[in-house]
Structure 1
Amino acid sequence: MTYYKFQSRLLRKKSGKPADIRPYLAAGLTIAGAVMFYFIVFNDRSGVVGKIAARILLNFFGRVAYIFALWLAYEGVSLWRSKNEKKWRMDFALSALEVALLCGLVKFVNVYFPAVPNYGGLLGKNVAEFFTRLFGPAVGGALNLTVFLYALSVIKDFSFKDIFHRVYDVAKRDIEEYRKVRALAKKLDDRRVASSSGSDEVGKARAKAVAPEAAQTATPPKAPVKPSAPARSQTPAPPPAQFPPAPPQYVNYKIPPLDILTPPKNSAEEEQHHAHLDRAKVLQQTLGDFGIKVEVGDIIPGPVVTRYDLNLEAGIKYQSITTLQDNLALALKAASIRIVPIPEKSAVGIEVPNPATRIVTIKEMAQADDFVKNPSPLTFALGQTTDGVPYVTDIIPMPHLLIAGATGSGKSVCIHSLIVSILLKARPDELKFILIDPKRLELPIYAGLPHLYDPSVTPDKVGIITDARKAMSTLKQLVYIMEKRYELFAKHTVRNIESFNELARSRSVEGMHPVHYIVVIIDELADLMLISRREIEDDIQRLAQMARAVGIHLVLATQRPSVDVITGVIKANFSARIAFQTTSKVDSRVILDAIGADELLGRGDMLFLPPGAPRPVRLQGTFVSTKDAENVAKYILAQGHKPSYEEYVRRDGAAASAAPVDREKEEKEKQYILSALRLVLERRRVSQDLLKAHFGSSAQATNVLSLLEKDGFIMKPEGTNRWTIHYDKIQEHLANEESTAKE
């Protein structure tokens, strides 16, 4: 990363106009007035005229007159430093209003507390009477304070809302740290109590074992010794409890090395040095032609765009730069440029496309320190910023991600970079993928990986989900798995998957094993929404709201960023979003709630909005070629590991687990299905309302309807909203059940 510093004397245009001395003259008179005021009010030896003037000022301003000298001095210094007489006049007028309002506030203190003398003077009395006559003493005092604070915020150019948010964030952070410390202290106390109780039991056992031996050696064996005492002392200690065998841990599994990835190509940034300088001059000259004087500060070249930081003179509005965006692009001979504020530098950044772009490869990102040192199995090498710094994030705190953009903008490559980044960090027993690809084009590369997962089938049948209706069933079963995990966590009194896995690894609870993360990737959300928008939206909403604590994360991608696909319900639960190039400002607002994505260049150029961030970050996405993705997949498949997991939903709707099956519940659900089949055969139709009226429960009707569809008794053809009933299969199933019952 190279920085180019430009001094103002190199690029500033020389003007032959004489310097304006009026601001300096006004500043000098103001400072002199402040000094004179100080000697009049604070000095008893100011003469007769000074005493009379001091008495008049104290009667008019009250005790506020003591800070009047400081205020005048501050205004004079401000004018001397800013040299902007117009802005100073406005600040001076607002400051005078502040003094009057402050006198009024002091008078209101005397109104509410009569014992306190009136320190507001004649001016404060008149201001307080003005507000009191119009609004009364209570509302008038509050309004006086409100106007005072607002004028203060205008003068000092700050927002009380920002101050409140900062205080709130600090307080929230302190409370969270306090809770973590309390939880850790409680855990240590529990362990200390457990260890002390265990040591007490060991001490008692040793005492019981030593007591008979001591009695036997101390007293002669005159009487026969009871056989029970020696037998108890010679009995060996019971063996420790044996834990059941843990699930497959892929002991011989190896993370793919970086040697199988394509190395990055050498960049030609140094050769573009003179081009950056020429563009800086063009920027300054073009803005100067429109009467805007700027200084070019840092020039920060990136992989795709170069940012030119402009330092504006006092009094120049940011909007005056943005309105000239098309003119600047024309002068720079660029297809499009982007203008962004830079708060940390108090500057304006002009992002201009580079003549020659540089590809950000997955190997380059995987070698970055932020990626290597990140311990999370869900580490995502997202790309590089406009100044060439690697940007690595984590899916866990997001906790869900929305990816959208036009066709060919880089959305599918971003999904590959996400999958490959995780495969370079996570083992199959740490993380599982649910890959849904209705287009059947992008994700078949990863078929057969041991990281694959599908809660609706057994591990030997898992694969890439390409059928939209099968994807709907998988999402419904995933909701069921989520609820079962919540029950498991509640049983062991843990709050999230990190605490559960930590407890399981400590082996403090018999039969506990760590659970894996689940990342659901839907490559084209629009195809699922066409089948059944309401059901898909409900399942996604429920997973997005509740699944974070149990380690389930969603990644939704679409190339149609319209309101009927990215609905308000989905956007409300996906605070982390990636926007690639869009065809219109409307699509950009649908994704980010702001414009900007329509100005991107495509081919991986993105805007990433982190959770809680005020504005998106422009990045050049990580490029994963088909060869790199295939090399990673082949390396994993060559190790011979197969998909293995215990969390899936059987055909009878019960979740598979290590616990014994509830035969009574299994038989009850079986009877529900048989009753529903007889009802469908009798009525010659099926619907949720019909099953609800029959079973008396909407939830039971939904569960039975999904089981009937899963078993193939009913189906809903694509493009229709009516169920197709397979009566032959229903009759055959009922006949088999009757014959089995007779036997």
Structure 2
Amino acid sequence: MEKGSRLNREILGVVIFALALLIALSLLSYHPTDRSFNTPSGSLQTQNWGGIVGAYLADLLLQGLGLSAYLLAIFLFAVSYNLFRESYQGIQLIKSGGYALFLWSVAVLTSLLREIEVGSAAGGIVGDLSKSFLISFFSRVGAYLIVLSALLLAVMSVTQRSLLSLLEKAKKVAVKLAKQSLVLLEVLNKKWRERREKAKGENTKKERKEYVPPPIVLREEIKEEPPKKAKKKSPPPQAQLDFPQVSQGYTLPAIALLDSADGEHVKIDKETLEANSLILRKKLADFGVEGEVVAVRPGPVITMYEFKPAPGVKVRRIVTLADDLSMALRALSVRILAPIPGESVVGIEIPNPRREKVFLKQVIEADTYQGAESKVTLALGKDTSGAPFVADLARMPHLLVAGATGTGKSVSINAMVLSVLFKASPQDVQFIMIDPKMLELTVYENLPHLLVPVVTDPKKAAAALFWAMDEMDRRYRLMRDKGARGIDHYNRILEKEMADKRAVIELKQTEPSDGGQEVGGDLQEKAPLVHERLARIVIVVDELADLMMSVGRDIEEYITRLAQKARAAGIHMILATQRPSVDVITGLIKANFPARISFQVTSRVDSRTILDSIGSERLLGDGDMLFLPPGTARIIRVHGAYVSDQEIRKVVEFINQQAKPRYRPEVFDAKKEIEAGEVDEEYDEMYDLAVELVTETQQASISMVQRRLRVGYNRAARMIEQMERDGVVGPADGAKPREVYARKIDN
């Protein structure tokens, strides 16, 4: 039945559209000499586009309604359009009456304005008769008052808006037009001034060429340069240091290497938004939550409805209705922000029927990214309103990323890496990439930004983090020697000294700190300080859970120490994991990572583990994330930027063609040297008993040694590690027990 009624509506719509088109063409091509009711003896050959029928029809409408006959065609087009819409609600008497009243008002008004030479039959027969009637009873002033009032009522009936809202809308349009006019005038004025100044500048140049000969200027410039005297005055123990020029011969990747948006901008029609608002209000009212939807903010992936509850309604009641609203709206998931920070409304986020894919190129091209000065600006995606969203890793200064498998976590990590590569040369930013899964980050092999090849071995990963701690201590000694408070300040001091021809290598011993010796301090405490421009170091770990299972407490210790101190030294970490549990994201790690990103997770517990609040379990996946900025508890929803494997390869190949990586082998050697020194210095008196216990039971676990020998955890762990170095037991293999190589020899 519904299908048949829709077909009938569409047939009627086609007929009305054809009639409206015929009326419009007939009126537009009206000619007084064509056959009509006034000129019946005219030729059969008419100039009207509608033929003889069109000529008669145009003459009839113009004589009856005057100039307002053109509005009849417009109204018929509107009726035809409404018949084809999904949300057609049948014939509305108020709107239909408004259309008729509008036609009558315009016809009478044009008849009243005949003295302004609108035409002899400007209002037609209807307008002239109505005008005569109104003037005879109400005078000309009263007639104007009645017609204008009727016109206003007609507009209110057709638009279904109140008078105040119409005035507010008109005010906004007028203000917008005024602003655009002012901007246009300012642009034109600016261009005119530029042309005038350019013309003046050309005249001035011509005049200067007549009075000031160029050779004199060249000779004066050459005589003013005194480079040799500066070299002679430098002290004997100091040597000139030639700093490599930053980004010399290096070209940043072009944005054209990235793919453009393949689809059109997804736009939700106003009727759908209004229908969802009504369903939302009705469903909340069914559960006793009264209020109204005060604003709707559509975005590329979700639409936020701002709901203002009635006085006395508790916000907690609204939060518990997320599942009910999801079922009523037939939505995949509904997330409720109760309340929106800083506002007196509750935000209800509902997924759009069609999701718009966010491409990395859209964010890279945006002014927010292009205008950012930081070399470690991360292009995360778009916020809920569709505006590009970026974040500065230097301000975080470390980032923890977690989410379930297949939610877009690895794609987002790649987008972050590429957003750094689009801003920084190898002299600005260097990477240490740790990928135990050997899947995601291996595409960046041979990148000139890498300090070492992509690390896949957990032990080498621990060594790299240990080196990062040692490098952090070295950088702090360099900055302390120059009186700098951060890496940017330190580099500016060196650049200033190079400009003044006073950059030197200062060979002198550093004094030990009052706080005692730090880890890795022996390696460089007696080494000379070599001042050089420092690049920021970004450590990317794609799967933290694998490292925590393999290396365990060492990794946690290194990460915690770097997170606490490495900000000013320009060393940053991006840690990602697909297992957001408390044994991976420990309290110590989380306390030192104020900036966190959560993708979709499976439970509220995981969401609380990452963000200390719920909400991640209601995300949509495919890059949908919640971002917790540092220093605030306000969580921001971001739709992550998508980047394909092909785009990554194109960018990496472009960079690899310009330079080759200069790996630093000492990254993996620092930990070995420290461990060798510790082995020589310490010998546990209970080590032999521990070896005897392990070989007798053929089990090598820290907990067993701790329990049987009644020693602490750290001491038992050190003895197991010593057994591994001595070849008594094998290396740790995840959750599997260590293999015992040695056998007990009977007496």
The answer to whether 1:466 aligns with 2:481 is no
Residue 709 and residue 443 in structure 1: after superposition, are their counterparts in 2 closer, same or farther (change >3 A)?
farther
Q: Which amino acid aligns with 2:232?
A: P
Within 5 Å, which residues of 2 pair with 1:142-153? none
Within 5 Å, which residues of 2 pair with 1:219-234? none
Of 482, 504, 507, 1:510 maps to 504
The corresponding residue for 1:383 is 381
Given that 1:398 and 1:611 are in contact with CA atoms closer than 8 Å, whether structure 2 keeps it comes out as: yes
The corresponding residue for 1:347 is 345
Between the two proteins, what is the percent identity of the paired residues? 41
Of 269, 274, 299, 2:271 maps to 274
Query: Match of 2:240, SS?
Result: coil
The corresponding residue for 1:580 is 599
The corresponding residue for 2:626 is 607
- List gaps (5 residues or longer) in structure 2: 1-227, 506-530, 693-699, 706-713, 743-747
The corresponding residue for 1:331 is 328
Of 456, 464, 485, 1:495 maps to 485
Within 5 Å, which residues of 2 pair with 1:173-184? none
Of 472, 491, 498, 1:482 maps to 472
Report deviation, 1:470. Answer: 1.4
Q: Which amino acid aligns with 1:506?
A: K
Residue 641 and residue 676 in structure 1: after superposition, are their counterparts in 2 closer, same or farther (change >3 A)?
same
Given that 2:429 and 2:535 are in contact with CA atoms closer than 8 Å, whether structure 1 keeps it comes out as: yes
Residue 390 and residue 674 in structure 1: after superposition, are their counterparts in 2 closer, same or farther (change >3 A)?
same
* Larger mean Cα displacement after TM superposition, 629-638 or 703-712: 703-712
Within 5 Å, which residues of 2 pair with 1:445-464? 445-453=443-451, 462-464=452-454
Within 5 Å, which residues of 2 pair with 1:287-686? 287-340=284-337, 341-453=339-451, 462-507=452-497, 508-511=502-505, 512-643=531-662, 648=667, 650=669
Query: 2-side partners of 1:566 and 1:599: how far apart?
Result: 21
The corresponding residue for 1:99 is none
Query: 2-side partners of 1:474 and 1:410: how far apart?
Result: 27
Given that 1:309 and 1:348 are in contact with CA atoms closer than 8 Å, whether structure 2 keeps it comes out as: yes
Query: 2-side partners of 1:602 and 1:425: how far apart?
Result: 28
Q: Which amino acid aligns with 2:433?
A: L
Q: Which amino acid aligns with 2:412?
A: C
Residue 707 and residue 274 in structure 1: after superposition, are their counterparts in 2 closer, same or farther (change >3 A)?
farther
- List gaps (5 residues or longer) in structure 1: 1-234, 454-461, 656-668, 691-698, 727-743
The corresponding residue for 2:257 is 260
Query: 2-side partners of 1:704 and 1:427: how far apart?
Result: 45
**Structure 1, residues 142-171: CA drift from partner, whole Å, max 9, x if none?**
xxxxxxxxxxxxxxxxxxxxxxxxxxxxxx
Residue 490 and residue 654 in structure 1: after superposition, are their counterparts in 2 closer, same or farther (change >3 A)?
farther
TM-score w.r.t. length of structure 2: 0.56
Given that 1:433 and 1:451 are in contact with CA atoms closer than 8 Å, whether structure 2 keeps it comes out as: yes
Given that 1:580 and 1:604 are in contact with CA atoms closer than 8 Å, whether structure 2 keeps it comes out as: yes
The corresponding residue for 2:232 is 239
**Structure 1, residues 433-488: CA drift from partner, whole Å, max 9, x if none?**
110001011011100001111xxxxxxxx311011121112112221221222222
Report deviation, 1:640. Answer: 3.2
Given that 2:463 and 2:668 are in contact with CA atoms closer than 8 Å, whether structure 1 keeps it comes out as: no
Report deviation, 1:530. Answer: 0.7
Report deviation, 1:683. Answer: 11
Equivalent residues, number: 465
Residue 366 and residue 709 in structure 1: after superposition, are their counterparts in 2 closer, same or farther (change >3 A)?
farther
Query: Match of 2:559, SS?
Result: helix
Given that 1:260 and 1:632 are in contact with CA atoms closer than 8 Å, whether structure 2 keeps it comes out as: yes
Residue 295 and residue 623 in structure 1: after superposition, are their counterparts in 2 closer, same or farther (change >3 A)?
same
Query: 2-side partners of 1:390 and 1:428: how far apart?
Result: 26
Given that 2:296 and 2:304 are in contact with CA atoms closer than 8 Å, whether structure 1 keeps it comes out as: yes
**Structure 1, residues 670-715: CA drift from partner, whole Å, max 9, x if none?**
89878999x999999799x99xxxxxxxx9x999999999999997
The answer to whether 1:718 aligns with 2:706 is no
Q: Which amino acid aligns with 1:627?
A: Q
The corresponding residue for 2:108 is none
Residue 514 and residue 647 in structure 1: after superposition, are their counterparts in 2 closer, same or farther (change >3 A)?
farther
Given that 1:248 and 1:644 are in contact with CA atoms closer than 8 Å, whether structure 2 keeps it comes out as: no
**Structure 1, residues 19-54: CA drift from partner, whole Å, max 9, x if none?**
xxxxxxxxxxxxxxxxxxxxxxxxxxxxxxxxxxxx
Query: 2-side partners of 1:320 and 1:255: how far apart?
Result: 53
Query: 1-side partners of 2:427 and 2:600: how far apart?
Result: 36
Query: 2-side partners of 1:273 and 1:520: how far apart?
Result: 47
Q: Which amino acid aligns with 1:576?
A: A
The corresponding residue for 1:119 is none
Given that 1:716 and 1:724 are in contact with CA atoms closer than 8 Å, whether structure 2 keeps it comes out as: no
Residue 515 and residue 649 in structure 1: after superposition, are their counterparts in 2 closer, same or farther (change >3 A)?
farther
Residue 488 and residue 328 in structure 1: after superposition, are their counterparts in 2 closer, same or farther (change >3 A)?
same
Query: 1-side partners of 2:252 and 2:463: how far apart?
Result: 32
Residue 284 and residue 238 in structure 1: after superposition, are their counterparts in 2 closer, same or farther (change >3 A)?
closer
TM-score w.r.t. length of structure 1: 0.57
Within 5 Å, which residues of 2 pair with 1:82-97? none
Query: 2-side partners of 1:265 and 1:297: how far apart?
Result: 34
Residue 704 and residue 595 in structure 1: after superposition, are their counterparts in 2 closer, same or farther (change >3 A)?
closer
Residue 482 and residue 558 in structure 1: after superposition, are their counterparts in 2 closer, same or farther (change >3 A)?
same
Query: Match of 1:640, SS?
Result: coil
**Structure 1, residues 309-361: CA drift from partner, whole Å, max 9, x if none?**
11223222222322322222121111220111224441111100111001111
Query: 1-side partners of 2:247 and 2:729: how far apart?
Result: 40
Given that 2:467 and 2:670 are in contact with CA atoms closer than 8 Å, whether structure 1 keeps it comes out as: no
Residue 395 and residue 723 in structure 1: after superposition, are their counterparts in 2 closer, same or farther (change >3 A)?
farther
Report deviation, 1:494. Answer: 1.9
Report deviation, 1:363. Answer: 0.3
**Structure 1, residues 624-668: CA drift from partner, whole Å, max 9, x if none?**
11111111111101213333669746579679xxxxxxxxxxxxx
**Structure 1, residues 206-259: CA drift from partner, whole Å, max 9, x if none?**
xxxxxxxxxxxxxxxxxxxxxxxxxxxxx9886354622224744111110101
Report deviation, 1:422. Answer: 0.5
Residue 652 and residue 617 in structure 1: after superposition, are their counterparts in 2 closer, same or farther (change >3 A)?
closer
Q: Which amino acid aligns with 1:718?
A: D
Given that 1:522 and 1:555 are in contact with CA atoms closer than 8 Å, whether structure 2 keeps it comes out as: yes
Given that 1:438 and 1:466 are in contact with CA atoms closer than 8 Å, whether structure 2 keeps it comes out as: yes
Residue 250 and residue 673 in structure 1: after superposition, are their counterparts in 2 closer, same or farther (change >3 A)?
farther
Query: 2-side partners of 1:717 and 1:336: how far apart?
Result: 42
